[in-house]
Structure 1
Amino acid sequence: MSNDTAAQPAYFIAHITVDDVEGYRNYEKGFFPVLKPSGARFVTYDDNVTVLEGERESGRTIMIEFPSEEALMTWWDSPEYRELAKVRQAAVTTHSVTIVHSLPPR
């Protein structure tokens, strides 16, 4: 990965269905303290997105912008997030977790 590519933002998009509300609240309580050191920006979440085409499972869609894919993966693989992810995995059904890359430099 070149330095130009490493500096490009990367977007984390997850779609989940909450199965255990109290468990998910515990995950939410720990989430932002673990996210903050990554330099990420929580963009939005939506429990009622508008689907223009195709199928969608019920649930929540979450979007977070990271300064780079490297920052995203450092957060994702961090011991702090991996431990917190166990709380999430016990409380929700994860339909997808996606990295969307910025346009490459031209």
Structure 2
Amino acid sequence: MKKVLALTFIFIVASQIFLFFIYHRGGDKGIYMVAEIEILDEELYRRYTEKVYPLVVKYGGRYLVRGGEAYTISGGWQPERIIIIEFSSMEALKECFGSSEYKAIASLREESTRSKAIAVEGIGNGL
């Protein structure tokens, strides 16, 4: 009986330690770029997206939302297109969008869309 209780105790402690690290692993918060886009020229925008996607990936970015249906909850906001990209840090995001590679294609976005974008820090794994 003592052996069963000891093994149960060890299992409970080990699982609590595991859960602690899952939910509190070093404060990884992530940085999220959120953009609202109105497409003015489909062809130019397609050329831009073909070039920006591999660039974002190169700098560690990960697309979470690329368009898709949006449901208005309040305020009458009805964006044509929303983009959300996750980066590991603000530095990685700034390196990506400040790079000479991005600057070379930025005019495609500027000419093909009307857009607004921000970067915001996430809350990490904690609640």
Class of the TM-score when normalised by the shorter of the 2 chains:
0.7 to 0.9
Tell me, yes or no, if structure 1 residue 85 matches structure 2 residue 106: yes
Secondary structure at the aligned position of 1:74 is classed as helix
1:76 maps onto 2:97 in alignment: yes
Which is helix-richer, 1 or 2? 2
Indicate the structure with greater strand content. Answer: 1
- 1:86 CA drift (Å): 0.9
TM-score by length of 2: 0.70
Alpha-carbon distance in 2 for matches of 1:37, 1:48: 27
**Structure 1 position 13 matched with structure 2 position 38:** no
Q: Which amino acid aligns with 2:75?
A: G
Measured in 1, the distance between the counterparts of 2:122 and 2:84 equals 14
| SS class of match (2:55) | helix
The sequence identity of aligned pairs, in percent, is 27
Structure 2: runs of 5+ lacking an equivalent? 1-25
Distance 1:33 1:45 in 2: 14
Which TM-score applies when normalising by structure 1?
Answer: 0.83
Structure whose CA Rg is larger: 2
Cα distance in structure 1, aligned partners of 2:124 and 2:70? 28
Please tell me whether the aligned partners of residues 70 and 78 of structure 2 are also in contact (alpha carbons under 8 angstroms).
Answer: no
The number of equivalent residue pairs is 101
Equivalence map 1:48-87=2 (5 Å): 48-87=69-108
Instruction: Tell me what 2:9 maps to.
Output: none
SS at match of 1:103: coil
